[in-house]
Each structure stands twice: as C-alpha cells, then as structure tokens.
Chain A
Amino acid sequence: MHKNILQSIENVAIWPVISFVIFFLFFIILLWYVITVDKSFIHYMKELPADDGTDNKTSNQNETEHL
C-alpha cells in the first residue's frame, strides 16, 4: 500500500514550525506591500464595482482613504 512507503519522517515535529515560518514570512511581505502600495491604485480598485459600463452608474461621494 502507498501509505506504507515511508515508515517514519525524521523530526516530524519540525513540520508545524515550518508551517508557521512560511505563513509568517508571507504575512510580513503582504503587510509591507499594502502599506507601501500606490494610493491612486487603491482608489481606482475601490471604485470598480460602481462603474459597470451601463447607464445606471452609481456615484460615490465622500471618498476617504483608510488604513
């Protein structure tokens, strides 16, 4: 059976540590990105649902930047 290919994995305890490191690094990079991202791009993306190319466009007022 395929499940018996390996009898054991050396240091299985390291797996959760690896998981944590992968996630932590990923999250730091992501955070760094959203803090430094171009404001006008964020503004553009926020407005996408409002503009769907039809006549009944909804307008958005009182724009403010957050985060």
Chain B
Amino acid sequence: MSAKESLISSLLFIGQSIPRVDALDKVLGRARFTADLQRNFPGLLHIKVLRSPHAHARIVKLDTSRAEKMDGVRAVVTGKDCPEKVHFRAPRILALEEAIWAGEGVAAVAAGSPEIAEEAIGLIQVEYEKLPAVLDAEEAMQANPPAVVDRQLGQYPGSSLITPEAPNITGHFKLRAGDVAKGFAEADIVLENRFSTSRISHSQLEPASCLARCEPDGGVTLWTNGQGVHVIKGIISDLFNLPLAKVRVINPYQGGSFGNRLRHYVEPLAILLALKTGGTVQLTFSRKEMYLAASTRLPVVTYIKTGVKRDGTIVAQQMKVIVDNGASYAAVQDGRTASSGAVPTYRIPNFFLDSYGVNTNTPWAGAYRGLGTPQVVWAIECQLDMLAERLRMDPVELRRKNVLHKGEKNAYGEEIASIGVMQCLEKVVQEIQLHEPSTQEPGPWRRGKGVAMGGKQNTPRGRSEAEVLVHEDGTIEVLYSADEQGMGSETVMAQIAAEEFRVPICQVRVKRGDTAVTPYDTFSASSFTTYNTGNALRLACQDAIRQILQAASQKLEASPDDLTLENGKIMVQGSPGMDLNKLFEPFSMFTLQGGPALKKGTPVRGWGVFAPSPAVPWDPETGLTPRMWNWYQYNACGVEVAVNTATGEIKILRGVLTADMGFPINPKMCEGQMEGGFGMAIGASVLEEYIFRDGLMINSSFGNYRIPTFREMPPRAQFKSFFAPDPLPDGPWGSKGIGEATMVTVAPAIANAVYNAVGVRLRDLPMNPERVLQHLQMAKAPASASGQPPRRRGGQ
C-alpha cells in the first residue's frame, strides 16, 4: 500500500458521504432564512422601490411630496439622499439625474406595512426624458456609441482611475503568446466562427433579502442573505462612514446564490433607510425585481479563429471575447475571467486573445457559476467539433491530441499542477457510447450524441480564517464566516474538524457568519470554500491539538511528539494515556475564579489562517505570467438528445458528467453539485433568455422565464456522474473545488449532439425551439441562402 493509500484508508470522515449537518433543520422547516426573522421585530418597516421603465432616461422631475405625507410612511429617499461613493461590489443605490437601465431604482419608501409602502410608491411622480439607449455590446464598444452608459466611469471617488479606449469599454485584457501570424501560416485548415450566449438569471429560489436595525450607538446590525459578512461590513462602513466596530453583519442560511449575492445590491438601501428612520427596516426583492434589478449572467460574444495542422495539432488561435456588463456602475471588468475559459485545457502555442468588458443599458451583470468561462468554453468546444469534422477526425482524438498535460505550461505561462480533464472525457465517451450511433425511431424526433470538456480557474483571492473551541466536555465548536448557500460548507467544515480531532460528527457544532463572533473570511466564490476555509480550519484544529498535547505532555511527562489525540483520549505512542476531560482541572472553590462550564485552560482556542499565494502581476501588453490564477477544476459532459424536426424542441435523453474536483471530501455532495450544475446548464442551453421590448425585459416572472423543472431533466437512471480526480498538492486532503465546472461543458455537448442528430450547428444560446427550427429550415433551403440566421443583438 502506498503512503497515499494508507493515508486515505485511515480517514474516518473525509471522503465519506456524511449526511449534511443542516439537513435536519431544513426538512423540518425550522432552518432560519433571512425573511423568516422578520416577525422578531415589532414595528418593522418595509421598503419598496420605484423603478425606471426606460433603458436610458433623464429624470426631469421627481416629486415625492404626496408619498411623504401618506399615513404610515416613515421615509422616502431618492438618489440625492444616497452616499456619493460607489463601490464596485455594491451598485449605485438609486439613480441620480439619469436612469441607465429599465429596472433601476429611482426612489424608495419605508413604511409600516408592505401595502402602505407599495401604495406610496404609486404616489411618487417622475417625469422622464427618454435618451438614446445602447443595448448591444458590439455597438456599445464603438468609439462613438449611441449612448454613454455610465458617464462617471473611472471618476468615482475612491475608485481606481479607468482610462477607457471607448466610453463604454470598462477594461481590455490582452494575451499574446507565441507568434500567431507564424502559427496561422503553418496551419493547413483555418476556421473562423462567432458564438454568443444570452442574458440569463441566477434564479436562486430565495429572493435577495435583508433586515437592518439602527442601534442606539448609531451603528447598525444587518441580517442578510448576501455573501461574505466581513466584506459587507467593510462596504457598509465605507459607504456610510460608519466605524467598522459599529457594523455587525449576520448571515442566516442562504437559499442559493450561484454568484448572484456576491454584489450587494439590497444591503446599502436598507442601511440608508435604517439610518434615516432610526428603526428596523426590511427589504426583500420580488421575483420580478430579481430579474430587473439583481445581477444577471454576463452575455458574451466570442469570435474565434483556429488554425490546425492536418494531423489535428492546433498551431494558432485568435479570439475576441466581448463581455456585456449591462449597466454596471464603477465596473472594472476586462473580460479576463470569462476569457480564462480559453486557456486551461489545450496546448495552444500561438495564442492572440483580446477580451473586453462593455457597459450597455441593460440589467447589470456579474458573477454566475463559472464567472464567464462557460460562455467562452461554449465557443471553444463547438469550434473543436467543427474542426474535427473538417479534418475528418474523431472529435475525441482531436482533443486527446491537444490537451495539456501535468507539468506543461498553458498559454499564460502557468505550470499545470493538477489536470484530470482527459480522464473525465474518456469516462464520458465510454458511458455515453459516443462511437455507437443513436438508435433512430420513426417520427419527427432525431437522436444524436455529443461531448465536450473544459475547465474553470480558481481565483487566488483574499484570506480565510477559522477558529475552533474545544470545551471541557469534549464538544467542539467551529467558527467560520464563509457562506452556506446550499453547497454544504457547514458539512465539509464539520467533517474536517471531526477528522482532525477524530471525534464523531455529532460532537462538532458549526457556527457561521456573524462578524461579531466568527473570524474574517471573504465569501464563498470561485469554488474555493473547501480549499480556502477548509485549509484554514485544518490549521485551527492543529493549533488547538498542539496546545492540548503541550498541556498533556507535562501531566504525562512525555514529549508532545509522542502524543496524539484520538476521540477525546490522549494517546502516548499509540496507547491510551489520559482522557481529554481529565486534562482540565477545576478551579479551587476558594479562589472564586471558576464558573459553570469553566475549568482551567478551557475552552482551548485554536486559530488558523489560509491565504492562497497571490497572482503574479502580468505584463499588460502580453498577459503573460507564471501565476494568473490558482488551480483549475475540470469537467467533461456527454449527452444524448432528441431533436424534434417539426417543432425544433430539444429533449435531453441521457446525460453523463465527470468531474476532476481533486479528492472528493463528501462524494454524495459532489454528485449533488454535478446534478445541480447539469440541471442549471440545461436551462442556459435550451430554455433561458431575457426577452426585451424597447430595452425592458418583458418575461420577468417564473411563468414566462422558464427554468428547468423535473420534466427537463432526464429520468434519474439516465443521468450519471463520475469522478476523475487529480489531487491538488496543497488542497485539504488533495481536494480542489467542484461547483462551477459542472456547468462549463453541458451547452457545447448538447450543441454537438444536436449537430449529430440533425446536422445543424447552433452558435447562439439558448438553443430554443425557435432558433433550432430556423436552422432546420435554412438547412433545407437552397444553397444560395446566406447559410446563417440573423445574429443575436443585445437587448432585443
């Protein structure tokens, strides 16, 4: 048995599907979410927001006097009452002078009931002067665009200076690896394409919600389902000039996020109104507001040109990636995160890439499970299948030929430490039986199979701390501040503490997300909670154990190096030495130092901090660096679909996902991430899209914006998930992360399967019936037709 195998076999809880520690409270309906706390606050004030119906308009007149006079109204605020500062993690609170997207708030009311607040909103009179709007990113990025979205861009107090190339371009990232002209000259085949993805909504089931209470000392306490309590604390302190010590942020359970609650778009307004009224206020978005005024996924247009040798070797690639920020204030987006999807998987010796962040007068966009990489992998993995066809080559063989291997350098110049992507693909190909043609049945449905693979970078961000308290009765309290938006961080942390102390899970209690109690962490993003916070917690446990063994070594007259802690027993060279609870002596009753649950030396308090080593600044002209990101998680997907040639509908008959997430800490929870990522990706692939009329989203409800239900998932025997882990040297027990890459490969696998089924190539998401049918009809039309349906344009 190798050292690694013996380590794994001695594990008690890591690598085991330990039931979720939050599941009991959640199935009993007693787990508390933010809005559930409202009834604890008598006299609670409710906030409603008046929103602009225009994509771009000047606010000529704003009269709130009638609303202010209404019975039960406690405060009305407009853009003039908001702090001048804009923080890029928190969009401007309310519009000032101009409203820059249809849905932006222009005034807000706090009142004694939601009904009064709603009625008061109706009494506010606004006169708008409609201005030209720019809804399409490619139009917006021109030097003289039809509209300038954020006139203040680059000029906010406290923000870094942006000198945009054009007034709506918020950033530009360049990657220049090798000599792309020389590469294309060597190529036997060059293929150029344009791909795009739609604007979609995270649609986490719990709408954004927060409660803010003004405290007697002038400070505030905030309960919120926003992510990152300490980050929110910093933003609130900064925006409102409140001392950090007077801001407390508490985070109940979160009903999903997927990146949506990483930007704090409800908290500042609630704080503003709490401070103004001196009371307690609540702000909970309606579902409609979740579409119009919460974050959305970044729509991306990708131009891709790839040169290959006849044997399939990729020799050059040129890409232009245009990332639509929507109407984001103070955006510093340069498309680098989205375009990172082009780098981690394949060996591309000559690579020329430009990515741009662009503002438009559409609902603002931001992080969404994968941070732009799925949108770019969509282009790459479709492109590869198209190249394989041109080369008359097996698409799997083409990928095998060009995949990066461990120890090689990618186009940034980073050395790859962990990459299991090809093993993922091989497994998927075998399970979906890619090389066996689908069985066709009579009727309009045609079946086909497709695969895709890809990766998602991990951002080396921030600092995670964890604390652990060992009490005199042997129970263990874990304190940390990362989020629990459903992915299971509380369970993973309980597993880690139980493993380190070698105690049953039930002896571990997890306390999370209260800035007055739990130590610093950033937030749960980039699939890094197990890696960042998990590593910090291991160090905290080891710190506490070290203290315990140090104390025991004096009593046992043994070297601490000979001692270990095992389920409440201190072992001397493997034999029982003493019980942990015997280590803690009561205080003398005469000294009056003791107290209930207090013995000498208790609780033992361990502390740990983990900060990933930071990125190495890249050359701004070439983007080259030995460390752009941290590690990469990988995924491959295989699907079998049926396409209805009469209606254009796509049915997902079978799905297979395989993930390289490093060592799986909790296999069932990893499966859950894969099933959930696949489900969400079906939505992005075939269903979901904002539909605009004159810049206003017109399908802003669950009834009209369809997200996958039970019926869109394949039956459960027809969906399988597998692991192909390549352990990460510095991950806890070799783990990386899993949440985001699960969504990276599904859309191109479906498109490749659709092509296999009916011979049409979709380049724009979603592949809804209308779009599929359009392609099918064009394929039937005479060859003189242009061959491509009209391009998608933003905001239409």
Are chains A and B native binding partners rather than an unrelated pairing? no
Query: Interface residues, chain B, CB within 8 Å of chain A?
Result: none
